[in-house]
Structures are given as C-alpha cells and as structure tokens.
Structure 1
C-alpha cells in the first residue's frame, strides 16, 4: 500500500484536530463546521471519512493511540510516579474527548472502539505500574484492571463538573496507588 501524499496526510490531521475541537464545543457538531474549521472542502473531508461515525471513531482511536504512546515516552523521561501522574493528566483530556465522542457515536461503533482502547490502555497502565512497583513507589497489589475501573468513571462525569473534578479524582487515585510511607 502506498503511503498517503503529504498534503492528504496533513488534511487528515487537520480534520481530526478540527473534529476534536468542534466536539469539545458541541457534541452534535456538523461535518460542514468541522470541514470549515479544518480549512478543507467537504469533498476532502468525505474522502477521508465517508460518514460522521467514521470521523468520530477515528478521533477516538487517535486519542487512544496517543495516550498509549505517552506511557512509554513519560517513563523514558520521568520517575515512575511522576510519569503516572503526568499520564493521568492526559487521561483526563482523553476522558473528556471520550465523553464527547461517545455522546455522538452510534452504539454499534462503541463495541469496536472499546476493544481498541482497553487492551492498549491496559498495557500502558501495566508498564507505568510495573515501573513504579520496581522502583518501590507504587503499591505491589495494584494492577491495570484496578486503575482502568477507577479511571473509567471520568467519562461519566457531567460536562459542568468535569473540569473541576477529573484531575482531582485522578490525584486521589494516584495517592491510593503510591506505596504507603511508614
């Protein structure tokens, strides 16, 4: 398969960024508003994403991939607990997008997106936890499933309270994951 042309790839990236921004403002964002924000014609948008569901699903997948990749990057540049704390900051942003996208995506698409995120995100959480456990800063009885169950609730927060509560709740989760000081 031939890689996409540079301009096509740039258009695709602009469309995804515009979709993410529009969805944050309005979960019912229309494709013409997304195309306009991206600076592309509707034909270009439809060549990349034939339906609104395709576009929203790709926004979600892209955010999952970026979140998963961030775990490795953060572990390479920070101590494990700091890496986990900074990763949780990204989880809050991801949960905001997830909440907005899921409000707009059809339920049939949800099963595929859920399968795409849980495995890779679980792997990222495992890497972060194991690094902290090896360093002695994360409690040894915590596992990825514990963390995923706890952070999944972020996507259920009401829009009005999300900004005030999401990072606060993640800070509580992080405190609970730390090895107790004796």
Structure 2
C-alpha cells in the first residue's frame, strides 16, 4: 500500500517537470499568450493537472523561467570543472546571453508576475549571483581572473550586457563579452577596484 503514494508522487513530479519543459519551449516558440490548455495538451497531461501544479499562467511562467535559468546557471559549475575559469566564464556568458536574447519577452511577463504573491526576480538574482560567484572563485584559484572584483559588480556588468542584448546584434553581444572578459583579466588590471 505504501508503493501507491510513492508512485503518485513520482508521477506528479514527472508531470511537473514535463509541463515546465514544454511551457519553456512553447513560450519561446509561440509567445507568452499561449493558452495553458495548449501547453497541457502538448505535455500529455490534462488541464486539471496543469492547474494543480500552476494555478495561474503567471505561476507557470515564473516556474518555467526559474527552471530554465537554473539549467543555465548550473552550467557554470560544469564548465569550471573542465576549463580554466576565464574560458568557462566566456562560455557561460555566451550561453546565458543566448538564453537571455531568446527569452526577451519573459522579463515583461515577469514584471506582471511581481504583482502576484512573490518577486520572481529574487530567485533569478540568487541563481545568477551563485553562477558568477562560482566563476570568480574559480578564477581566483587558477589565476585566470582578477581577484579584486566583487561578484555583485560583475553581476551588474552581466546584467548590463543582457539589457543591451535586447537591442543589439549577436556580433555586438560577442564584442561586449570580449570587453567584459578583458576587464576581468588579471593581465589588463592597472588599478584595483574598491568595494
């Protein structure tokens, strides 16, 4: 009898994961106005199942964004395990900014979600801060990044590029990444940055 609740919980988790995968893809491909019923159908679950997990469109949107951003931020740890911190940082920045450019409408929708019960940006800030800190800490260890830059300052620079990316070409974004990497390089450091 104890196996049934486990299976039910396992099925519920599987359904939730599937809904988030489909929602992220569908919102990116078809727009944020896509009906939740269409997302449920594509995920192979009933509308009731979707609304049990995500009672509003905003809740689904925020959860899909969190899941996708978590996947992007998690790559920082994987990259520093395989490359120098400088190489990992460049790759992570390219990955994050590709995600940001592909999901530019998400921020507008998340602003509307702030009016609900939680601030969706607090979670996003924590994820991004963790990824940037991972990269900077690795750079301090292997010597490939400056050690005098606070993670909050680096995160503001990344945010500035992400904002500019909404109105820039991919080539311009890659040039901005190059400029940021030059700023993070210990070999181009002429003066220390104070907190």
TM, length-normalised to structure 1? 0.81
Tell me what 1:60 maps to: 65
Q: In terms of Rg, which structure is larger?
A: 2
Mapped to 1, the partners of 2:33 and 2:166 lie a distance apart of: 14
Instruction: Call closer, same or farther: CA 1:73–1:110 in 2, change over 3 Å.
Output: farther
Whether 2:131 is the aligned partner of 1:90: answer: no
- 2:49 alignment partner in structure 1: 44
* 2:147 pairs with one of 127, 140, 148: 140
Q: Which runs of 5+ in 1 are unaligned?
A: none
Mapping for residues 8-87 of structure 1, pairs under 5 Å: 8-25=12-29, 26-87=31-92
- How many residues get paired? 182
2:177 corresponds in structure 1 to 170
**1:128 positional shift:** 0.8
Report the Cα distance in structure 1 between the residues aligned to 2:108 and 2:172, rounded to whole angstroms. Answer: 19
Name the CA distance, whole Å, in 1 between partners of 2:134 and 2:160.
Answer: 21
What is the alpha-carbon distance in structure 1 between the residues aligned to residue 37 and residue 27 of structure 2?
13
Report the TM-score when normalising by structure 2: 0.76
> C-alpha distance in 1, partners of 2:116/2:171?
30
